[in-house]
Amino acid sequence: MVAWVSNNGNVAVVGGVRTPFAKAGTALSGTHVTELARTAMQEVLYRTGWPSSRVDEVVMGNVVMPADATNPARVAALYAGIPESVPALTVQRNCASGMEAIGQAAARIQNKQVSAALVAGAESMSTVPLMLPVETLAPMTRLMKAKTPWQKLGAIAGFRPKHFKMVSGLEQGLTDPTCGMIMGKTAEVLAHEFAISRAEQDQFALASHQKATAAIEGGHFEDHMVTVYAGDRCKPVSADIGPRANQTMEALAKLRPIFDRRDGSVTTGNACQITDGAVAELMVDGELARAEGMEVLGYVRGYATAALDPRRMGLGPVFAIDRLLSATGMTLDQIGLIEINEAFAVQVIACLKAMASDAFCQKHLGRSGAIGQVDTDRLNIDGGAIALGHPVGATGARIVLSLLHAMRREGVEYGIASLCVGGGQGTAVLLQRR
């Protein structure tokens, strides 16, 4: 399945909530990913008034599945009080995992396999573990098998300093082993190829903060936010930690490129933040939702996945949106609002340039001409991951939720949400308001 289409009214999203997105190492750093997901799942059922006994399946996106909860969807579902008899599945498509969950649930509803699915995306980037290198395993095993004190001493003598050199799971996770590049390096590739300046990137990042803070002040997140009571003291965490109201171009300009110190332009300021958070949405068969008189946030009309050169993974949305538009027979000018996940400012700008380029679209997509120009006023209107952060497994679900609320607010009929995916993929989903 690389793209599928649904008749309107078949697959309804009837509600969604998210926890605050908190920069890693801050308020939610001690909260387990299953606990974040539990909070969002439990809340969406209360808010929609949907009995947990009527959930047919739970699908959750999560990238760094914790060692102590290897199917976090199942753990979170049971924590949330979903009956033991309801199956739960964790899906992983890196940065698009949260959207993949929506795509899979939507397909099952479309095929009448389930009539109500609880969908989630969750990530705790704070708790991605530090690891010992794989070479440590051999001396460790020898030590564990040793029986006599002499054997033990011998095994201990086998350890070398290199065996204790910690490996950051986060850094490893963000590095694509097939091309040997960390994600930021792939962004630098696009900066060079599309000749995108540092100032352009910083300007985009500043806009993200401004849009996010305006959305917070305007209360745009309030109706789909749930407070997390973190830790033993049940400390309430109710607001995003990431968007900076006082962000300036000057401050952004001061930052040094981190992935390529000499020739690079990607900084921590114009890349997404590392963040903890969870999202949950309830998706119901459209007919059933209307029969129950439920308020529908919007309908899922199609889902597309595409793949490309891992070194240029940031262009994934271009390929996915192309496929989604072709499959649904829509054109870009029909789409009122667009979300393209801000992994890096440069990567989103590159996508816009590629979509507007006749040459690119002819060469790579086999189109006769450009997909079209994306009006930046319609792009990520409530801010993106540069301000709000990117809990990798959760973001895909967040941008869909955010887009559905923005579409309602702006009176827009169609919207597309899309992400680039580490490893060289892209996903996109088409949403319809009514």
Q: How many other β-carbons are positioned within 10 Å of the β-carbon of residue 434?
A: 9
Candidates 2, 8, 25, 51: give the one binding another protein (CB under 8 A): 51
Q: Is 224 in the site for another protein (CB under 8 A)?
A: no
| Closest CB to another protein among residues 69, 392 | 69
* 120 to 100, 103, 105, 400: CA distances (angstroms): 10, 11, 10, 11
Q: Enumerate the active-site residues.
A: 95, 390, 420
Diameter over CA atoms, the chain: 76
Part in contact with another protein (CB under 8 A); list of ranges 47-55, 155-163, 288-296, 384-392 = 47-55
Burial environment of residue 246 by CB neighbours within 10 A (0 to 12, 13 to 18, 19 or more)? exposed
Under 8 Å between Cβ of 382 and 401: no
User: What's the CA gap between 18 and 10, in Å, rounded?
Assistant: 24
Tokens of 22: 């908190």
Separation CA 200–CA 190 (nearest Å): 13
Q: Which residue in 316, 396, 403 sits closest to 61, CA to CA?
A: 396
Candidates 43-51, 109-117, 184-192, 411-419: pick the segment binding another protein (CB under 8 A).
43-51
CB of 230 to another protein, least distance (A): 9
Is 38 one of the binding residues for another protein (CB under 8 A)? yes
User: Least CB distance from residue 60 to another protein, whole Å?
Assistant: 16
CA distance 26 to 14: 31
Identified binder of another protein from the candidate list 233, 256, 262, 434, rule CB under 8 A: 233
CB of 61 to another protein, least distance (A): 21
- Which one of residues 112, 145, 160, 235 is an interface residue with another protein (CB under 8 A)? 235
With CB under 8 A as the contact rule, which of the stretches 5-13, 38-46, 84-92, 251-259 interacts with another protein?
Answer: 38-46
**Spatial distance between the Cα atoms of 93 and 91, rounded to a whole number of angstroms:** 7
CB 120 within 8 A of CB 41: yes
Residue 369 interacting with another protein (CB under 8 A) = no
Q: Out of 5, 9, 47, 56, which residue is the one contacting another protein (CB under 8 A)? A: 47
Interactions with another protein, residue window 54-113 (CB under 8 A): 79-81
* Closer to another protein by Cβ: residue 69 or 386: 69
- Closer residue to another protein (CB): 44 or 324: 44
Q: How far is the CB of 75 from another protein (least distance, A)?
A: 11
For residue 256, the Cα-to-chain-centroid distance in whole angstroms is: 26
Please state, in angstroms and rounded to a whole number, the distance separating the CA atoms of residues 89 and 387.
30
Using CB under 8 A as the binding criterion, the count of chain residues that bind another protein stands at 19
Shortest separation between residue 128's beta carbon and another protein, angstroms: 22
Query: In the complex with another protein, which residue's Cβ is closer, 81 or 158?
Result: 81
Stretch that binds another protein, among 39-47, 322-330, 409-417, 421-429 (CB under 8 A): 39-47
Kindly state whether residue 43 participates in binding another protein, applying the rule CB under 8 A.
yes
Contacts of 42 (CB under 8 A, 6+ apart): 80, 81
Q: Give the helix ranges, DSSP H, for 14-115.
A: 33-48, 72-79, 97-110
Instruction: Work out how close the CB of 51 gets to another protein at its nearest, in angstroms, rounded to a whole number.
Output: 6
Among 111, 227, 248, 331, binds another protein (CB under 8 A): 227
| Residue 292 is a binding residue for another protein (CB under 8 A) | no
Q: What is the DSSP string of 352-394?
A: HHHHT-HHHHHHHH--SS---PPPGGGBSTT--HHHH---HHH
Residues in contact with another protein by CB under 8 A are 38, 42-43, 45-47, 49, 51, 79-81, 227, 229, 232-236, 238
